[in-house]
Amino acid sequence: MPLPVVDTRQAFRPLSAEIVRLLRSLGAADWERPTVAGSWQVRDIVAHLTDTAFRRLSLQRDGLAMAGPASDQDFVAFINELNATWTRAARRLSPRVLTELYAEASGALAGFIETLDLDADAFFAVSWAGEARSRQWLDIGREFTEVWHHGAQIRDAVGAGPFSDPEWLRAVLRIAMHVLPHAYGGLAAPCGTSIVIRVTGRASGAWTLHRDQDRWIVDEGDVVDPTASLTIPDEVAWRLFFNALPPADSRALVGVDGDAALASPLLRARAVIV
């Protein structure tokens, strides 16, 4: 079955509310804890979530004009600089102020997202899926994966365990699977090659990549006798797709049955720009 539309609009509000509840429970030391997001501490992730919410509201809801990068090659550097300038400035803010800002920003973002038409053209194309033009539901879903995985990074850092609703992670993984044809684009394989990816755990599911004449296609569900089967726990899958898992760990944590070369693009797949 082809990948279906995943409507995450109504999930933004409860997800962000759960993040805010956690932030309000943290002690001063928790805000300085290191995270899997590179050099960022918990407070930096909260600042980033606030920034991206206000940024989307300003650009898409309010029509703010903002100069972009000079070329596609400069895009990653441009995004990195936007992120860095905000997190540096937010070092002046207390945890209480950051929490209040994020509560306001996330509530406004949820309200705006709930008004959007799934079938319209996306405001931002989902570039990590290899798309120059996307439908709005996928862009909304991409935004949801951003909120979820940064929230999960905070929970991981403070030992809070998984989010309460496994359906949120399942939605994240269903969105992230759109990266696979792009990730496998450089892998030559005979027509008819099939790779089943099985995710285990509370957010379990199965997806199959098929090699067509000149491209890879991903479907939801599995097939009998695939060329290779890859098995990955859900708590490993999100870390893999969102840059929170060292390469050596991903190789050890993904089970491979069949041609091991067919697992390599999955281990490098990232459903995130930076």
What superfamily does domain 9-164 belong to in CATH? dinb family like domain (1.20.120.450)
Contact call for residues 189 and 219 (beta carbons, < 8 A) = no
Specify the pairing of strand 255-258 against strand 228-233. Answer: antiparallel
What does the pLDDT average to over 134-139? Answer: 98
d(CA 167, CA 90): 32
At residue 213, the pLDDT reads 87
Q: Which residues contact 237 (CB under 8 A, 6 or more apart)?
A: 173, 176, 199
Report pLDDT digits (tens) over 242-252. 999 988 898 89
DSSP string, 145-180: HHHHHHHHHHHHHHT--S-S-HHHHHHHHHHHGGGH
Cite the beta strand spans of the chain per DSSP E.
194-200, 205-211, 216-220, 228-233, 255-258
Report pLDDT digits (tens) over 93-135. 999 999 999 999 999 999 999 999 999 999 999 999 999 999 9
Instruction: Give the closest residue to 95 by CA, choosing from 24, 156, 40.
Output: 24
At residue 148, the pLDDT reads 98
Write out the two tokens for 67. Answer: 């100069």
Q: Domain ranges in the chain?
A: 9-164, 179-268
Which residue in this structure is represented by tokens 């940024």?
A: 55
Instruction: Find the farthest-apart pair of alpha carbons in the chain and give their distance in angstroms, rounded.
Output: 57
Write out the two tokens for 29. Answer: 């030391």
At residue 70, the pLDDT reads 64
Which tops the pLDDT comparison, 274 or 2? Answer: 2
Percent of the residues in the chain that have a pLDDT greater than 70, as a whole number: 99
At residue 179, the pLDDT reads 97
On the question of pLDDT at 173 being above 90, the answer is: yes
At residue 76, the pLDDT reads 84
Instruction: Give the closest residue to 271 by CA, choosing from 203, 133, 173.
Output: 173
What does the pLDDT average to over 143-165? Answer: 98
Report pLDDT digits (tens) over 12-40. 999 999 999 999 999 999 999 999 999 99
What does the pLDDT average to over 55-59? Answer: 97
Distance (Å) of CA 173 to CA 112, 128, 211, 251, 273: 23, 14, 21, 19, 16
At residue 71, the pLDDT reads 66
On the question of pLDDT at 68 being above 80, the answer is: no
Contact call for residues 236 and 250 (beta carbons, < 8 A) = yes
On the question of pLDDT at 72 being above 70, the answer is: no
At residue 246, the pLDDT reads 87
Contact call for residues 143 and 234 (beta carbons, < 8 A) = no
On the question of pLDDT at 58 being above 70, the answer is: yes
Please tell me the CATH code under which domain 179-268 is placed.
3.30.1050.10
Report pLDDT digits (tens) over 184-229. 999 999 999 999 999 999 999 999 999 998 899 999 999 999 999 9
Contact call for residues 42 and 32 (beta carbons, < 8 A) = yes
Question: Hey, do 9-164 and 179-268 end up sharing a CATH topology, with the first three levels equal?
Answer: no
